[in-house]
Amino acid sequence: MINIDEVVKCVCLNAEGKQRTLMLFMMFTLILCTASESVAVDEENCLFCHQYRGLSYIQKTGNQGKFRLLYVTEDLYLNSPHGNIKCSDCHTNIDKFPHGKPVKVNCLIVCHMDEPSSGLPFSHQKVGEYLSQSVHSRFDKDGNLKEYPDDYPECVTCHTDPLYRPLAFLKKAKPGLKEKTITRCSICHEEKDFLRKFYKHFTSRMQKLRTPLEVIEMCGTCHENNEMMKRHNMPNVGKSYMETYHGKAVFFNDESAAECTDCHVMPGESVHAIRSMNDPKSASYKDNIYKTCSDIDCHPDAEMNLAGYKAHVILSSDRNPVEFYVCVFFVLLTLGSFIPVMIFTVLDMARNAFPNFALFNKRGKK
Amino acid sequence: MNESNKISDEGKYYTRLNLHERIQHHITWSTFFILAITGFMVELPEEMLTVFGQYKENIFFLRGITHRIAAVIMILNLIYQALYLSLTKPGRSLFFDMVPGFKDAKDFLRNMLYYLRISNRKPLFDRFNYKEKMEYWTGWIGNIIITFTGFFLWFEQYFPKFFLDVSILVHTMEAILASSAIMVWHFYEVHLKPGKFPMSRIWLDGKISAHELEEEHPLQYQRIQQAERVSVNTDL
């Protein structure tokens, strides 16, 4: 727990005279204005400092600086799935002020809370196992670090709190899932804080955490990064996806259109287990595609014919020669007919509009 | 042509498109227009479609339905045209007059010489010139291609993946080709060409003036004149 006296002492040591008085006055004003609400839900009192929007620093990384924002939005944090976990459960070496050099958060550590079905300490280790088998793992099959390991995602690359969406888009369709439902729970369960946390916990897992468009944008942070994709000999799949009907529908906020995880994760598997399309266990492996498409929500009639279907074709002579050369043929056909037609039209217009025009006057003729 | 033998042309009109042909043309241009708009909506950059605001989802849904309805009408119109061409006398006449021949190649070369002012003699066209024949037959070929690829995409679950991969490309590119040809060539020939602006009236009442026919289709005009003279002489 952070001691307020220590904070005050620390601030005052770096100020003198009138400045010190002014700073102390400002600090106590802020404490009076904000601390009462924060202390009730933040027993370690981390928000005493981290509630301020400007709290940040520049971390030196090589020759460049990286902007690190230390501000915590209290409301978003408390309503996130981690809202009932103490800060120090994850930020394990923060036990004094000034904090000292922070240790990077390890999402796979055992939490100071029990998993209710087994009663055992909770951990995200299982998710880590899925991720380690996926194409997004930093290690290859033999356990060696892959090339450009920093390009591979870690938990926070995709997961940014809050991870849930209120069930607003379902409200019209299923009134039973309205946020108002919580009032039914309160008939028996009196503790409001528990109700809120339980509701958030439950509803956040009832649906996809992000809208399809948000998923596309999230995956696109890497898969639409041309430099990074070039390093891994991959095309910009985000661009080719957005050219498809799925991409267009997702852009129009269609919740039912397929986004990345719908087609690249086997039905029933964790989204963390995305595999390479060349892996026979992958949902996008050529023999599995029809099963993925025929998922009951999408194209239930899809059959073996769809095996090998490329949902978003990358037009290159190496990857898809047939599609590439069909495209080249049509581009040449279009230009080959369009340009002559334009020339004929201009010539026709010129001849009709100026029938007697001649570049050179013929001798003897007026 | 000898002026003394010429029958007076003033205020005289001939039928260039009969009722069947006009109906076919009206169905073609209206469905083409709807198909082009609803089809290219998928190809436009997303940012341009944000103008629809909160209605964009519904508009996207209706777009698909409208595209399919217009496509079915266009296909039925193709069948109507095929039946007309094969089963009726004017249809068969149109078909045979549309068949391209060696004369069309010669006409093309002569026309190029005329355009480039190397020659001052226009080629003498018959009922349909080489441009009209090319437009007509590329229209048929394009329609057939776009119909089949459209069906593959509509009923995607019944066709092999190769058909779908290629159909997506072919359907879009054929549409680009057809639309650009219509906008540049056909619009110029019947709307923007000097003497035609704002439009030729043939598509509305099917009539062409004798003067226009003589200018643009002199061989057909001569044939008609000859037939009329024979008819007048017989009556006398």
Can you read off the two tokens belonging to residue B43? Answer: 């190809």
Nearest to A285 by CA among A322, A310, A315, A257: A310
**CB under 8 Å to A327, separation ≥6 — which residues?**
A315, B169, B173
Residue A37: the pLDDT is 42
Of the given ranges (A142-151, A357-366, B56-65), which has the lowest mean pLDDT?
A: A357-366
For residues A161 and B69, the model is more confident at B69
Backbone angles phi, psi at B183, to 5 degrees: -70, -40
Query: Quick check: B144 contacting A, CB < 8 Å?
Result: no
Residue A204: the pLDDT is 67
Q: Is the pLDDT of residue A176 over 70?
A: no
Chain B positions in Cβ-Cβ contact with residue A334 (cut-off 8 Å): 173, 176-177, 180
In the structure, what pLDDT confidence band is assigned to residue A270 with cuts at 50, 70 and 90?
confident
Largest CA-CA distance found in chain A, in angstroms, rounded: 112
Alpha carbon of residue B141 to chain centroid? 12
Backbone angles phi, psi at A58, to 5 degrees: -105, 120
Tens-place pLDDT, residues A182-212: 777 777 787 877 777 777 777 766 666 778 8
Closest-approach residue (CA) in chain B for A239: B45
Q: Is the pLDDT of residue B85 over 80?
A: yes
Contact A313, B168 (CB under 8 A): yes
Q: Which of A254, A320, A350 sits opposite B57 (nearest CB)?
A: A254
Task: Decide: helix, strand or coil at residue A60.
Answer: strand
Residue A117: the pLDDT is 78
DSSP-assigned letters across all residues of A319-352? T-HHHHHHHHHHHHHHHHHHHHHHHHHHHHHHHH
Q: Is the pLDDT of residue B65 over 50?
A: yes
Tokens 């602006």 correspond to what residue?
Answer: B197
Query: Quick check: B184 contacting A, CB < 8 Å?
Result: yes
User: Domain-by-domain residue ranges, chain B?
Assistant: 13-99+133-235, 100-128
Query: Quick check: B174 contacting A, CB < 8 Å?
Result: yes
Percent of chain A exceeding pLDDT 70 equals: 77
Q: B70 burial class (0-12, 13-18, 19+ CB within 10 angstroms)? A: buried
Residue A40: the pLDDT is 42
- What one-character DSSP code corresponds to residue A355? T
Residue B171: the pLDDT is 93
Q: How many angstroms separate the CA atoms of B51 and A216, rounded?
A: 22
Considering the entire predicted model, what is its pTM?
0.58
Contact A113, A121 (CB under 8 A): yes
For residues A305 and A174, the model is more confident at A305
Of the given ranges (A161-170, A306-315, B38-47, B136-145), which has the lowest mean pLDDT?
A: A161-170
Classify domain B13-99+133-235 at the CATH topology level.
Fumarate Reductase Cytochrome B subunit (1.20.950)
Residue A67: the pLDDT is 81
**CB under 8 Å to B144, separation ≥6 — which residues?**
B78
What proportions of chain A, in percent to the nearest 5, are helix, strand and coil? 45, 5, 45
Q: How many angstroms separate the CA atoms of A324 and A189, rounded?
A: 63
Q: Do B157 and A301 touch (CB under 8 A)?
A: yes
Does this complex have an ipTM over 0.90? no
Backbone angles phi, psi at A224, to 5 degrees: -110, 5
Tens-place pLDDT, residues A241-258: 888 888 888 887 777 788
How large is the average pLDDT for residues B182-191? Answer: 86
In the structure, what pLDDT confidence band is assigned to residue B101 with cuts at 50, 70 and 90?
very high
Nearest to B115 by CA among A355, A185, A138, A36: A355
Kindly report the average pLDDT of chain A as a whole number: 76
Residue A125: the pLDDT is 87
Shortest Cα distance, chain B CAs vs residue A243, angstroms: 7
Q: Which of A251, A323, A341 sits opposite B184 (nearest CB)?
A: A341
Query: Quick check: B57 contacting A, CB < 8 Å?
Result: yes
Residues of B (60-119) whose Cβ lies below 8 Å from A = 60, 112, 114-117
Shortest Cα distance, chain A CAs vs residue B76, angstroms: 26
Q: How many angstroms separate the CA atoms of A303 and A319, rounded?
A: 24
Largest CA-CA distance found in chain B, in angstroms, rounded: 75
Closest-approach residue (CA) in chain A for B51: A252
Kindly report the average pLDDT of chain B as a whole number: 87
Chain B positions in Cβ-Cβ contact with residue A348 (cut-off 8 Å): 115, 188, 193
Q: How many angstroms separate the CA atoms of A306 and A294, rounded?
A: 10
Residue A201: the pLDDT is 73
Q: Do B117 and A351 touch (CB under 8 A)?
A: yes
Q: Is the pLDDT of residue A149 over 70?
A: yes
Q: How many C-beta neighbours within 10 Å does residue A40 have?
A: 9
Closest-approach residue (CA) in chain B for A333: B177
Q: Which of B115, B120, B186, B190 to mutate to test the interface with A (most CBs of A within 10 A)?
A: B115
In the structure, what pLDDT confidence band is assigned to residue A123 with cuts at 50, 70 and 90?
confident
How large is the average pLDDT for residues B121-144? Answer: 92
Residue B28: the pLDDT is 95
Q: B15 burial class (0-12, 13-18, 19+ CB within 10 angstroms)? A: middle
Tens-place pLDDT, residues A46-85: 888 888 888 888 887 777 888 888 888 887 777 777 777 8
Q: Which of A341, A356, A362 to mutate to test the interface with B (most CBs of B within 10 A)?
A: A341
Q: Is the pLDDT of residue A24 over 60?
A: no
Of the given ranges (A179-188, A277-286, B183-192), which has the lowest mean pLDDT?
A: A179-188
Residue B126: the pLDDT is 93
Q: Is the pLDDT of residue B157 over 80?
A: no
In the structure, what pLDDT confidence band is assigned to residue B162 with cuts at 50, 70 and 90?
confident
Tens-place pLDDT, residues A297-348: 777 777 766 666 677 877 888 878 888 888 888 889 888 888 888 888 888 8
Q: Is the pLDDT of residue B220 over 50?
A: yes
Q: How many C-beta neighbours within 10 Å does residue A141 have?
A: 7
For residues B228 and B144, the model is more confident at B144
Q: A197 burial class (0-12, 13-18, 19+ CB within 10 angstroms)? A: middle
A35: left (phi over 0), alpha (psi -120 to 50) or beta: alpha
Closest-approach residue (CA) in chain A for B181: A338
Chain A positions in Cβ-Cβ contact with residue B195 (cut-off 8 Å): 352
Residue B146: the pLDDT is 94
Considering A139-153, B18-32, B114-128, the range whose residues carry the highest mean pLDDT is: B18-32
Query: Quick check: B161 contacting A, CB < 8 Å?
Result: yes
Residue B137: the pLDDT is 94
Q: Which of A245, A252, A350 sits opposite B56 (nearest CB)?
A: A252
A252-266 in b/e form (b: 16+ CB < 10 A) is: bebeebbbbbbbbbb
Q: How many angstroms separate the CA atoms of B94 and B25, rounded?
A: 14
Q: Do B188 and A309 touch (CB under 8 A)?
A: no
Query: Quick check: A139 contacting B, CB < 8 Å?
Result: no
Of the given ranges (A180-184, A350-354, B148-152, B199-203), which has the lowest mean pLDDT?
A: A180-184
Beta strands in chain A (DSSP E): 56-61, 64-69, 110-114, 121-123
Q: How many angstroms separate the CA atoms of B134 and B147, rounded?
A: 20
Q: How many angstroms separate the CA atoms of B94 and A287, rounded?
A: 51
Contact A284, A262 (CB under 8 A): no
Q: Do B115 and A342 touch (CB under 8 A)?
A: no
Closest-approach residue (CA) in chain B for A321: B166
Shortest Cα distance, chain B CAs vs residue A301, angstroms: 6
